[in-house]
Structure 1
Amino acid sequence: MKQLKAILLGCIILAALGCKKSDNDLETNSTIVNDNFKDGQGSWLIDFVDYPKGKEEEWEIGGGISKLPGPLDTTSMALRLSSINRSDDVFMFLKKKVTGLKPNQLYTVKLEIEFASNAPSNMLGVGGAPGENVYLKAGLTPIEPIKVLQEDGYFRLNLDKDSESLSGKDLFYINHIANGTQEATYKLLNRSGEFKGRSNENGEAWIVIGTDSGHEATTTLFYTKVKANVSY
């Protein structure tokens, strides 16, 4: 009987240790964003940089929650961003603050994005292709991404995103926005990427996703889903 009790006690201890390990795994691998814009914009914000102050109307800069365009489901909502890239460098982006992270922690981020693009593949365009020369970038940063007015009259980002397909210290190249067809028709695309980013001293960080355009014409995208997982 004593031997049986000892065996049972050993099993209980092993089971408890197993549960403890599982809890630790959950702490080091967590989903911090899992948003579907059909439910609205939520706490996501949008902004634009690399254009001159006062030219918002001329460059048709803007966006917000909007219905998806045809031939997609026009009853479903998405987060729309649009501009005419007259500077050959417009960066239009969305951002969201996340909390509850470990302070000053370096994380590995696995990001999944779904968006609608009407940029055809392998097509010539003004200044660059409408698909392959519009570069999708993302990052996790300890400070809020904001526009800063420079002496030359242009708004620039306060983070290092580098240019075109190059990754910066803060934002990293993921892919382009070509829709995989020869037609300028909206298709839902899925893009994923992995990069590193850091939280601030309060355990906060900003997820930022945007497009660095080398196509000197109109780009209009409809973001539908964003999911971000972090581990350390």
Structure 2
Amino acid sequence: MVTWFADSLHRRRARAAQDARGPLARYYREPAPADSTPAGDLAVLALDLECTSLDLDSADILSIGWVPVQERRILLGRGRRVVVNPGREVGPNVTVHGLTDDVVAAGAPLPEAVEQMLHACSGRVLVAHHATIETTLLSRACELLYGAPFVPPVIDTLALQRRILGWHRGDQENTGLNLAAARGRYGLPRYAAHDALTDAIACAELFLAQLSHWGTSGGPTLRTLRLR
């Protein structure tokens, strides 16, 4: 099963690479970390999106925030937040993320923002909390812009927290598993939510705290941790 799991990601990346153009093609030319890489040695990119809606079928990306993590160190100086101009009004979700129409109107075009993200993610594992949002919207953007899906190795800190607690997918729904609550279990400070860079940093800190669940040596490999 582990062999199939690893091979599935490899095959999906290989298929996507065949069709990818431009920045996405360059992303696929950089090898992803091997599944045998110890977690403490991983190069990862903690990432968060803010979007117009939680309905992923209709949502547009409004901002992308990311911060690299290398050998259990968060590289704050290389963190970045890019506001994206979706070419339409923000809608009622403005009360959540605070990105008003005038702010996003001055934002970067989607191709520019996605290209920057792909460059930052090259050769790294993507780490996100409830990563389905990030992977769905970024993959759709890459298909639109570059002709192929975005298929990174992914560690989902929400899924990882569920495993640490011994919960199954249906247990308690996601109660106690949102980013703030998961951080609270490790005594991490509470940050204001729904800023993409702040949430990416918060996710990076949570990931490192979760790794402490296994200790500093003899811990898990990427194969153990990744979502798919």
Instruction: State the TM bucket, normalised to the shorter chain.
Output: under 0.3
Larger Rg: 1
Q: TM-score, normalization: structure 2?
A: 0.23
The structure with the largest helix share of the pair is 2
Q: TM-score, normalization: structure 1?
A: 0.23
Higher RCO (Cα < 8 Å, 6 or more apart): 1
The structure with the largest strand share of the pair is 1
